[in-house]
Structure 1
Amino acid sequence: MISVTGQSNPLPMSPYLNRIKPWVSVICTSFNQEAYVEQGLQSVVDQHYPNVELIVIDNGSSDQSAKRIERFVQKHPAVRFIKNPTNRGLNQAFNQGLALASGRYVIDLAADDVLLPNRIARQADLFEQLAGPYAVVFSNAAYVDELGNQTALHYAVDAEGRARFKVPSGDVFKNVLESHFICTPTMMMRRDVLNELGGYDETLSFEDFDFWVRSSRLYHYAYLDEVLTQKRRLPNSMQAQVIMPGNQLLSSSLTVCYKAFDRCNHPAEYKALAGRVRQFIRKAFYAEQFDLALEFGQLLQRMDSPGALTSLILSLSRFHLPVNKLYRRYLKWNHPHQPAYQPAKLV
């Protein structure tokens, strides 16, 4: 296998040391990202790490993404490229790449995101030092806009660049039920764990929440306190889609919540999941998916009483009120440039 980074070092022991470093497979999925895909791929090639496999899947793009990837592959023939004639969905596209991957560790890279040069080296080194059942190493991230300007950090940092609060690490199952505290593109995952879980669930519209629920019940996560990824926020991002009427993300979330319910073992875990379900009830209501809000309500009642506010939202859901446009205006007015994740309290 030939590394896409083409690393070379004149030190006498370097060839041997490089050979014993674990291979890392980067699986990049692209759909209509012609403006960013070459930068994302170049960030993999520019990694300060010797053993990197790059697999790219264009998922039926209708713009010039595939042509730009082909041009990139001509310059870097070690890259493996799959061109899907139609969009098979993010999860199936990733699983196509996973079936070809050979690395001990895997990174799921969206075509509009960027790996900073030390990303793979720092995470792979930490993985090799960990003892115990660790499946994921994740890090902090910088959010950037269409032009690459930084708008926020996922975790707010102090003057030394460290997270201002303790980020969950180790057994994080309850934490992933409580909130979306991990910035998804910062994860490096063990390939054998992904294979054990059967890859991403192809029946769902997104991957992260489901993967967290299934893997964190069995394995630990480690946080590396550095900004190692640039996550691009675009107007058509998944975060924006979840508030739109008719989106499939919320129905997938209900499926994952039932998976989580089946995996809860303690009252604290059920309580954490109940809080998350209340959030989804509000999101479904504002997206005018009223029947889905009521289905979330049925799950909630199996764990906890809804409470006054949630009961009100569930009651209003039966009237199918046109609330979506008003809610989107509110979000536009409520300035979003702040850390993406804020803990309920400092710990």
Structure 2
Amino acid sequence: MTNFEKPLVTVILTAYNQEKYIEEALASVFYQTYRYIQLIVIDNASKDNTLGIIESFKSKSPAFQVIRNRHNIGLCRAFNQGLAIAQGQYVIDLSGDDIMIADRIEKQVEAFEHLPEDYAVVFTNARYIGKNGQRLHNHYEIDAKGRATSQVPSGDVYKNILERYFICTPTMMMRTSALQQLGGYDEALAFEDFDFWVRSSVRFKYFYLDEILTKKRVLKTSLSTGVYKKGSGMLQSYYAVCNKAYDLNRDQKEFDLLAARIRTFIRKCLYAQEFELAVRFRRLLNYIENPGLQTELIVLMCRLHLPVNFAYRFYIENLKKIAPQEGFAF
């Protein structure tokens, strides 16, 4: 592949109140070994000095675009702003506190260029880091050679998507044409990944590249920690995606997997005290199969409006201190 044949990659970096980390995130884009990059930075109305740091960085390295939102319009809508002007054949959705390893883009492009057109995503392993950059753990456990010790789904992963969380979102490189066919991210949702995985994997294939190429920062303010917060909107978004999956499913196995996933969301509704939403999840589950005694008991507890949120969040926070989990289990 000669220089003139190398495809452009668009990195859409969205930032909100990440003044401590944004410069390192920006630097990780500019220090890539791959040179054919379009960088679009979107400040989602940060209240700290995030935008000032972006502007300072741009004064030294002007070759990127900045979108300055006057109001926080949410992650999905902000990403779609970047997607609307993306010129790259491939797109990366990067947060303002995550870091790309220097050869990440080069290796993902190389993988994509050897895949058929029906592959829409190349994803990788990741290292989780704390607020000060300290190493926490890897998304997939690795052996002495740095390879995942367990088999990671690749190819047609739709059933795997329905079954469990296994992709570290910021590691993905996506085919731009596939994103455009899907209409970008759903702006009505509080987050993007589960919905994108469901809508894309039913139509396209995924490829797992077995290397650690991204450092994902874990903070108390991270979106993934909000599912148990009352009124966060996250469980409502999961409900919307489950309804989409119900319409997209192709066989009984997929309905069985969706039913099992819905049961986990009903439990989470109890813990988050999203009581009415639990009843709606139960109604959706009933279209697939009989909810059964255990689930009906949980729904009954929701109908009784038991105040369990504080106790459960206390339990979760202390459990994380003892045994940090790999990623966020939906």
TM more than 0.5: yes
Distance 1:153 1:340 in 2: 9
Residue 191 of structure 2 is aligned to residue 206 of structure 1: yes
Structure 2 counterpart SS, 1:339: coil
RMSD: 1.2
Instruction: Give the whole-Å Cα distance in 1 for the aligned partners of 2:232 and 2:180.
Output: 29
CA distance, structure 1, for counterparts of residue 125 and residue 75 of structure 2: 23
Q: Is the contact made by 2:119 and 2:205 (CA closer than 8 Å) also made in structure 1?
A: yes
Contact 2:224–2:328 under 8 Å retained in 1: no
Deviations 1:125-178 (A, max 9, x none): 000001251000000000000000111111111221111111000001111111
Report the equivalent of 1:48: 33
State the secondary structure of the residue aligned to 1:159: coil
Aligned amino acid, residue 133 of structure 2: G
Once residues 307 and 140 of structure 1 are traced to their aligned partners in structure 2, the CA distance between those partners, rounded to angstroms, is: 37
**Contact kept in structure 2, 1:23 and 1:103, CA below 8 Å:** yes
Distance in 2 between the 1:57 and 1:223 partners? 28
Q: Which moved more, 1:112-121 or 1:331-340?
A: 331-340
* Residue pairs, 1:304-323, within 5 angstroms: 304-323=289-308
- TM-score, structure 2 as length reference: 0.97
- Quote the Cα distance in structure 1 between the aligned partners of 2:162 and 2:24: 34
CA distance in 2, matches of 1:116, 1:337: 23
Counterpart residue identity of residue 337, structure 1: P
State the AA in 2 paired with 1:136. V
- The letter for the 2-side match of 1:26 is V
SS of the aligned residue for 1:151 comes to: strand
Q: Do 1:155 and 1:341's aligned partners in 2 also have CA atoms closer than 8 Å?
A: no
Query: What is the 5 A alignment of 1:1-347?
Result: 17-334=2-319, 335-340=322-327
Could you tell me how far apart the structure 2 residues matched to 1:295 and 1:104 are?
A: 40
Q: Which runs of 5+ in 2 are unaligned?
A: none
In 2, the alpha carbon distance for the partners of 1:114 and 1:125 equals 20
Give the match's secondary structure for 2:288: coil
| Cα distance in structure 1, aligned partners of 2:188 and 2:112 | 30
Cα distance in structure 2, aligned partners of 1:238 and 1:132: 32
Task: Return the letter of the residue paired with 2:34.
Answer: Y
The answer for the alignment partner of 1:9 in structure 2 is none
Give 3-state SS (helix, strand or coil) of 2:51's partner.
Answer: helix
With the length of structure 1 as denominator, give the TM-score of the two structures: 0.92
**3-state DSSP class of the match of 1:198?**
coil
The aligned amino acid for 1:27 is I
Aligned partners of 1:25 and 1:55 also within 8 Å:
yes
Give the CA deviation at 1:50: 1.8
* Mapped contact 1:171–1:219 kept (Cα < 8 A): yes
Distance 1:39 1:290 in 2: 41
Residue identity opposite 1:250 in structure 2: L
Distance 1:149 1:308 in 2: 45
Shift, 1:340, TM fit: 2.8
Give 1:315 deviation, angstroms: 1.0
The one-letter code matched in structure 1 to 2:197 is: W
Residue deviations 1:219-238, cap 9 Å, x none? 00000000000000000111
In structure 1, C-alpha distance between the alignment counterparts of 2:261 and 2:56, rounded to whole Å: 44
Shift of 1:336: 4.0
Relative to structure 1, the CA distance from residue 168 to residue 126 in structure 2 (aligned partners, 3 Å threshold; closer, same or farther) is same
Note if contact 1:95-1:200 (Cα within 8 Å) is conserved in structure 2.
yes
Q: Percent identity?
A: 50
The 2-side partners of 1:230 and 1:337 are apart by 16
